[in-house]
Structure 1
Amino acid sequence: MKLPDKVVCYRALQSRDARFDGLIFVGVTSTGIYCRPVCPARTAKFENCRFFGSAAAAQVAGFRPCLRCRPETAPDMASWRGTSNTVSRALALIAEGALDGDAASVERLAERLGVGERQLRRLFLQHLGASPISVAQTRRVLFAKQLIHETRMSMGEVASAAGFGSTRRFNETFQVLFHRPPSALRRKSSTAPEAAKAGVTLRIRYRPPYDWESILKFFETRAIPGVEVVENNRYLRTVEVGGQSGSIAVWNIPERQSLGVTIRFPNVKSLPAIVARVRRQFDTGADIETIEAHLSSDPLLKPLVSRRRGLRAPGGWDGFELAIRAILGQQISVIAARGLAGRLVELHGKPVSKEYVGHAALTRVFPTAKRLATAPEVGLRVPGARQKALKAIAQAAVADPNLFSPFGTLEETVERLKTIRGVGEWTAHYIALRAIREMDAFPSSDIGLLRGAAALGEGSRPNVMSLLRQAESWRPWRAYAAQHLWAIDPVLMPTRRQSDKNPSD
């Protein structure tokens, strides 16, 4: 992303303009520290300020994170710069640990993204001012710093959770950056050990406004019995990562412009992946002001955007789970699909250990692709074609572990998904939107969208082609336009009723 000129950045720093939080970082040459633009410290002199588009670029330039404004708590805006889909997809993979571990490499990451290694490095330098490795290392340091400040985990657990190869490397990194051991960054009042069973609690910052009521209602309507619970203004669910299971609880902290999340999980190494999934599911990285300004340029959409400020595009916890839910939801109501998903969990879901759940109603994890692919039968009372589609998508996910990872363009993603039996245009776009987080995905044949567009235009219901023509001006954020159309009547979110079969079925 091309930064605003230095004068504009400095004015944002002087006024502590929250609109720039997460979009720019300032390195102060007189102190060697880099800060968020909202840092409460005294504003440095103009000639002592250098501005960067990412925390990684600031660290590469030799600056260390501020202990006061804590750059690790800035909104994670890098994937919403609107400059490079490849970089956005790469950042999503890095957040889930694609460059952690001895076997990880930029070359393998580039292969997953369908680009050359040199091309990926060039794009990172162009848009973030740092290499993929530097970005991964900075994320590691900042996540470790957040764990030190916000939890009571031991330093060994912090090092492991943040992806450091050893405690020694962890200590050395912090000594070089902060000229002190990592334990010295922790307040003395936070020295009591924290048990994984009791949970690790963190904050995930977002850019306001955030329509928490709408996103919570979305998940409540679709909550799978045994897997998800929404109560007391919180979302809880079971999770499985790497063959181990636990649970999360998520709630809103509007006064801190953050979501709170408590993670109960037996393996601290899975924390970064779990946090990344929570960010994705609750769409905390959206540059919502930019999106709403763009959609408001359409006179028909503008009243909807004004009515529901901060409306997000909910994601799915897991790509395979979301795909199964999409198949189950074809041609039936949301309530009926929820019942079928609950029955599927009863038949094939693995019980979750009670010591790592925070609610008695959380009993099982959603079945894995392998479990469903190898099951003798699905066991649901659904048409035979639907059962074959469920099996087909499970087998495809087993054959390609990266099936629901970002790869290529939206069009390529849709075409790749449509090769799976039972996945047509609507289902492919729905999976791309919720699971792969393609923010320009648009399931145009959805009846809810067509009815919403009809209400928007105060005329007869448009056909798919006319809706697509209208939606051209909503790019590259058609997914958010879809949320606003569905929100005209929440009962319709989403309610596709037409056939969604492949021509080959």
Structure 2
Amino acid sequence: MSPQQFAGHSPQQLASFRQARLSRDPRFDGTFFVAVTTTGIFCRPVCPARLPAEHNVLYYAHALQAMAAGFRPCLRCRPDSAPQSSAWQGIDTTIKRAQQLLSRLPAQNVGQIATRLGISSRYLHQLTTRHLGLTPKQIQIYQQLLFAKQLLQQSALTVTEVALACGFQSSRRLQIAMQKHWGLTPRNLRRTTSVSTDTPVTHLFLACRTPYNWAQVQEFLAVHALPLVEQVSANSYQLVFNWDQHAGRLKATYNASKNGFDVELELADIRCIQPVMQNLARVLDVNADPQLIKTALLNAGIASGQLVEGLRLPGTWSYFEAGCRAVLGQQISVKAATNYANQLVAKAGQKNQFGWVFPGPEAVANMPLTALRLPASRQTTLHTLACAFVQHQEPPGRDQLLALKGIGPGPAIIWKYAGLPTVIFIWIMIWW
């Protein structure tokens, strides 16, 4: 077995993956991929195609690793649409962060990513090669190709628009890359998809790790919703936002039969599609590991009969919005905190072509301290927080936040961070 394939897993664990493949267990969707040596294709473990013989099967922890080994994605089960894999959650934090940065679109220069990680380009290459069996460049190109495949098969974007959205400078470059790595062309992938440029709406599908408790997520979102910028119905979530100064609107409708969300996107810049979808996945917490959550709750002393299947922890759209809600929600009810957040949108929020959006750091920093009827100390803390976000190119970290006057370590808010095994709790308390 190749060192790329589930390094460190015991024979018993590999046996469980074989059993999951044979039973097409949806709980394992996204945790591993199945490559078939006789066809040169790799699939999700839930693929409805006829099961290959075990001696013709190889198991990979990542879709990118299967691609690096020369396999192309299945056109039937679409591995590009699988829930985000959690197979590498136990590796070093630098590797996780590197994967996140290398997977983002538009793709950044590898040297710049290494600088952001605080390491050299050479060391970044060594890390990804040793732990993932892929070079940084391979990770980037494979992510671009998988996302291009998803757009070609799910959306009505033209091939040129798909190429631009995935970071290729032209449709010709996308075609060359697909032909090189898969022996396919964009036309081959779009044989059954009609293309129309009459509508600005892009339709995509966001898969969930199952089981997924939409009723619990929907209730949380509804209670915390800000009516000016978001709406929550019995089966959908809508939001107006800005992404890198580009206007956007989305609607995610839960589809229980497909274990995911049918997403409608309207974006002023189609290059924002991939990061917006990643952020939506974080907000809806679709990639959390249900088995990990179940084990943690049982270990915490919750009786098995009291467990609720598919629990999730929804997030806020932006790190800054989470910070504002933390400050506004100190020592008051959820309803009162949401009312203050609504007032903040009304006082400092801005409109784009789709409607109202949550205010950015600059707008809150320039807002008069007396705009909201808050205690003076809380108003000052909100202003200090906004100024900190304005001054930093990236969102300030925990240590930087704790250095701000009015913010200290204490129980107040759950702050989610994408890309970790589960949620990380950063506790923030306002000192009065």
Q: TM-score, normalised by structure 2?
A: 0.89
- Contact 2:33/2:42 (8 A) holds in 1: yes
Deviation at 1:86, TM superposition (A): 2.9
Deviation at 1:275, TM superposition (A): 0.1
**Corresponding residue number in structure 1 for 2:147:** 143
Report whether the alignment pairs 1:69 with 2:71: no
**Corresponding residue number in structure 1 for 2:385:** 393
CA distance in 1, matches of 2:307, 2:161: 45
CA distance in 2, matches of 1:4, 1:195: 51
**Corresponding residue number in structure 1 for 2:430:** 500
Deviation string for 1:435-460 (max 9, x for gaps)? Answer: 89784534679xxxxxxxxxxxxxxx
**Corresponding residue number in structure 1 for 2:413:** 430
Deviation string for 1:4-57 (max 9, x for gaps)? Answer: 545554443333333332122222222222122222223333333222110111
- Contact 1:370/1:398 (8 A) holds in 2: yes
- Contact 1:38/1:69 (8 A) holds in 2: yes
Deviation string for 1:267-290 (max 9, x for gaps)? Answer: 111101110100111111111113
What amino acid is aligned across from residue 433 of structure 1 in structure 2?
Answer: K
**Corresponding residue number in structure 1 for 2:310:** 310
- In 2 relative to 1, CA 63–188 (structure 1 residues): closer, same or farther, beyond 3 Å? closer
- In 2 relative to 1, CA 313–82 (structure 1 residues): closer, same or farther, beyond 3 Å? farther
Deviation string for 1:281-322 (max 9, x for gaps)? Answer: 111111111321233134x22347x43211111112111111
Local SS of the residue matching 2:363 = helix
**Corresponding residue number in structure 2 for 1:293:** 295
Local SS of the residue matching 1:364 = strand
CA distance in 1, matches of 2:318, 2:272: 14
| Structure 1: gaps of 5 or more residues | 355-362, 405-412, 446-498
- Contact 1:149/1:185 (8 A) holds in 2: yes
Aligned mate of 2:399, from 408, 415, 429 = 415
Local SS of the residue matching 1:271 = helix
**Corresponding residue number in structure 1 for 2:235:** 233
Aligned mate of 2:363, from 364, 371, 374 = 371
Structure 2 matches for 1:403-482, cutoff 5 A? 403=395, 413-426=397-410, 430=413, 432-433=415-416, 439=422, 441-442=424-425
- Contact 2:166/2:271 (8 A) holds in 1: yes
CA distance in 2, matches of 1:162, 1:259: 21
CA distance in 2, matches of 1:378, 1:346: 14
**Corresponding residue number in structure 1 for 2:286:** 284
Report whether the alignment pairs 1:179 with 2:183: yes
- In 2 relative to 1, CA 192–260 (structure 1 residues): closer, same or farther, beyond 3 Å? same
CA distance in 2, matches of 1:387, 1:243: 26
CA distance in 2, matches of 1:114, 1:432: 24
Structure 2 matches for 1:11-160, cutoff 5 A? 11-78=19-86, 81-97=89-105, 100-101=106-107, 104-160=108-164
- Contact 1:315/1:437 (8 A) holds in 2: no
- In 2 relative to 1, CA 53–437 (structure 1 residues): closer, same or farther, beyond 3 Å? closer
**Corresponding residue number in structure 1 for 2:258:** 256
**Corresponding residue number in structure 2 for 1:204:** 206
**Corresponding residue number in structure 2 for 1:322:** 322
Report whether the alignment pairs 1:384 with 2:349: no
Deviation at 1:195, TM superposition (A): 2.2
Deviation at 1:384, TM superposition (A): 1.8
- In 2 relative to 1, CA 320–80 (structure 1 residues): closer, same or farther, beyond 3 Å? farther
- Contact 2:327/2:430 (8 A) holds in 1: no
Deviation at 1:403, TM superposition (A): 1.7
- Contact 1:79/1:285 (8 A) holds in 2: no
- Contact 1:60/1:130 (8 A) holds in 2: yes
CA distance in 2, matches of 1:173, 1:442: 41
**Corresponding residue number in structure 2 for 1:353:** 353
Task: Report the structure, 1 or 2, having the larger helix content.
Answer: 1
CA distance in 2, matches of 1:39, 1:154: 27
**Identity %, equivalent residues:** 33
Deviation at 1:81, TM superposition (A): 2.7
CA distance in 2, matches of 1:11, 1:436: 28
Deviation string for 1:195-216 (max 9, x for gaps)? Answer: 22xx212111111111111111
**Corresponding residue number in structure 1 for 2:3:** none
Deviation at 1:76, TM superposition (A): 0.6
Deviation at 1:231, TM superposition (A): 1.9
What amino acid is aligned across from residue 148 of structure 2 in structure 1?
Answer: A
Q: Which moved more, 1:135-144 or 1:176-185?
A: 176-185
Q: TM-score, normalised by structure 1?
A: 0.77
Number of matched pairs: 424
What amino acid is aligned across from residue 441 of structure 1 in structure 2?
Answer: I
What amino acid is aligned across from residue 395 of structure 1 in structure 2?
Answer: C
CA distance in 1, matches of 2:370, 2:364: 7
- Contact 1:239/1:245 (8 A) holds in 2: yes
CA distance in 2, matches of 1:369, 1:283: 25
- In 2 relative to 1, CA 291–160 (structure 1 residues): closer, same or farther, beyond 3 Å? same
Local SS of the residue matching 1:149 = helix
Deviation at 1:386, TM superposition (A): 1.3
CA distance in 1, matches of 2:131, 2:79: 19
RMSD over aligned Cα, in angstroms? 2.6
Q: Which moved more, 1:184-193 or 1:229-238?
A: 184-193
- Contact 2:414/2:425 (8 A) holds in 1: no
Local SS of the residue matching 1:264 = strand
